[in-house]
Amino acid sequence: MVSAESLEGPPQQTMKHFGVTKPISMAGPTDVDLQRSEELQKFLVDAGLYESEEEDIRRKKVLREIDQIVKDWVKLLTQQRGYSDQMVEDANAVIFTFGSYRLGVHGPGADIDTLCIGPSYVNREEDFFIILHDILADNEDVTELQPVPDAHVPVMKFKLQGISIDLLYASVSLLVVPEDLDISNGSVLYDVDEPTVRSLNGCRVADQILRLVPDIEHFRSALRCLKFWAKRRGVYSNVTGFLGGVNWALLVARVCQLYPNAVPSMLVSRFFRVYTQWRWPNPVMLCPIEEDEIGFPVWDPRKNPRDRTHHMPIITPAYPCMNSSYNVSISTLRVMIEQFQFGNKICEEIELNKASWASLFQPYLFFEAYKNYLQVDITASDDDDLRTWKGWVESRLRQLTLKIERDTYGMLQCHPYPNEYVDASKQCSHTAFFMGLQRKQGVKSQEAQQFDIRGTVEEFRHEVNLFMFWKPGMEIYVSHVRRKQIPSFVFLRSVPLGSSSDSLQSRKSPVKEEVEGPPKRMKLSPEMSSSSSPTLEMKESPLVGPCSTSPQTSNTGSSAIEVEGKHQEGLFDYKHGSLVASVESSLSSAGVDFYGFGRAPPGGIETSEGKNMSACSSSVRETAIIKLVSQMAPTQGYSSKDGLVSLVNMKGFEEKAVVTSECGRAEVNH
């Protein structure tokens, strides 16, 4: 690793050149700049951004324990697979860190991004996500274990001795993994799949960033400051369409290259000056993009049409070079540019001694910025279900922003806010997100122009409800609220997305206060008094509000069968797992509405009388084909002999089950 001391030694005229262009300025700090840097450093310390020595020791101890766990795991698998005693002795796995911990900018309570690298015969699908998962589950020091095998970068999340860990796995083309493995060498990428490349690149990018900045300590101080600023101003969240940790690191590193002799106070000021004037979508790059004979695709808008659609390209410096900020939309880019302008204005005032550093970190008053908002309420039966459900919904919120942009032709701008809010008065587990809405600025429009986003919201809800691990109690409600309708629980406490304090139970405020009930779902909004505010049309929701009393599934619930437009009444007997109809049907399909469920789940677990019915979903927008495996009774219940049920989109995106069988008859039992 390049040290700060080694970079400060050479005189300026022989200093190594960093970046894809020449520096903007080689000027060093004045006495005033040094004083401002000291004041900035004191502000960051007082703000609690540095962890204690005791916590640092705890982290190192936990990392050593993880390293030993994965080493024992690989030796166990090597022995079980019949390798020689010498092979078992040599078997090894190594742990690398990346993200904020590797860059040296983590704060108290932050998670540790870790990568386990194992030999070629230890795979991710079974060995990592099943065998290692079970080993961790049996460890009494491990809590909140959550495997996410289907993520873009597959990850195992858990806490070890109270410290949050994100653990990735990469199997490299080696029978024995050396303890001193150099992952910066491109040879580690030979004969591996793309998820493995993405897993390896977290570490490779972090190491490359540290190699490409002139002064590591100055870089760290500036990055720590700007990450804190981004969180205070509501623009720190990759999943919501803003920027995450690696994105901010790359932006700061580029400014360090452009001002190689600047101290932190100068770098923060120059950061806002540079990115206020940056002409997006020109890419931010720390080094030239290199191609390799390995053949992985790299970011290149000349060859790849999809790359031309990126609004704010920030390119990773390790092969294969990718755009790390592909989640940014037109709306979120607009918000970030506005915040860069705010930061630039404050820094200019600081340089004129008209403001202090505290002014830069004023929290963004999101709920005073707009007259109209979308409120997204998420509920589940318990905290564990909510953690899983919330993670899925968070990953889809960006799609709602994109759909609103698409369906209003960019005329309705959407500002997703990357904080979540908990209503502690609810009996169920709950969290809520908000999005600010406004008409596109600077464009003449008709008086009281209306935007009908009912279909947009329904489409979003429908896609979210296709979650394959859906369980009863997992619900999402989207409503339009005006500024004066914002519920009071919003102003009690908020939790930033990605917060290290991710325990849902700990986030429930102990304060018991009168809070406003949730606004009526999907209600037509009243006329807006200001012509600059959009009038939104949203549909009355057929669903009950969050955590309100919903119909309970009975042991024998009433159902109905629709056959070619005819309506047949019948009973669905949960005890025997069959649909008992009053009229026999010999036709090939039957539509079934299941009483006791607001919807027939397109995926997940449906619970009844202690038994369950699981479904695996393969879906498109309007139709999902699922295979029902009934454990409710020896019979197949309401599935057919071939087990296929088609969920067909109906009015309001409510589903009906169309049951088909191999024999061409609906399986309607008497």
* Residues annotated catalytic, as ranges: 100, 111, 113, 166, 227, 236
DSSP-assigned letters across all residues of 308-350:
GG-SS-BB-SSSSP-BTTTT--HHHHHHHHHHHHHHHHHHHHH
Q: What are phi and psi of 527, to 5 degrees?
A: -65, 140
Residues near 60 by beta carbon (within 8 Å), at least 6 away in sequence: none
Report d(CA 158, CA 145) in Å as an integer. 4
Cβ(510)–Cβ(492) below 8 Å = no
Report d(CA 619, CA 616) in Å as an integer. 10
Report d(CA 374, CA 481) in Å as an integer. 6
Report d(CA 500, CA 479) in Å as an integer. 28
DSSP state letter for 244: -
For residue 535, the one-letter residue type is T
Report d(CA 416, CA 396) in Å as an integer. 12
Cβ(286)–Cβ(254) below 8 Å = yes
Token readout for 89 is 């002795």
- The distance in angstroms from the start CA to the end CA of the chain is 75
Farthest CA pair distance, the chain: 93
Cβ(232)–Cβ(261) below 8 Å = no
CA-to-CA dists, residue 91 to 87, 181, 200, 336, 370, angstroms:
6, 14, 20, 48, 59
Residue 286 burial by Cβ neighbours in a 10 Å radius (0-12, 13-18, 19+): buried
Helix (H, G, I), strand (E, B) or coil at 597: coil
Residue 125 burial by Cβ neighbours in a 10 Å radius (0-12, 13-18, 19+): exposed
Cβ(416)–Cβ(241) below 8 Å = yes
For residue 445, the one-letter residue type is S
Cβ(259)–Cβ(25) below 8 Å = yes
Reference 249, options 281, 283, 228, 224; nearest CA is: 224
Report d(CA 267, CA 252) in Å as an integer. 8
**Cα angle at 620 between 382 and 430, to 5 degrees?**
20
Helix (H, G, I), strand (E, B) or coil at 202: helix
Helix (H, G, I), strand (E, B) or coil at 504: coil
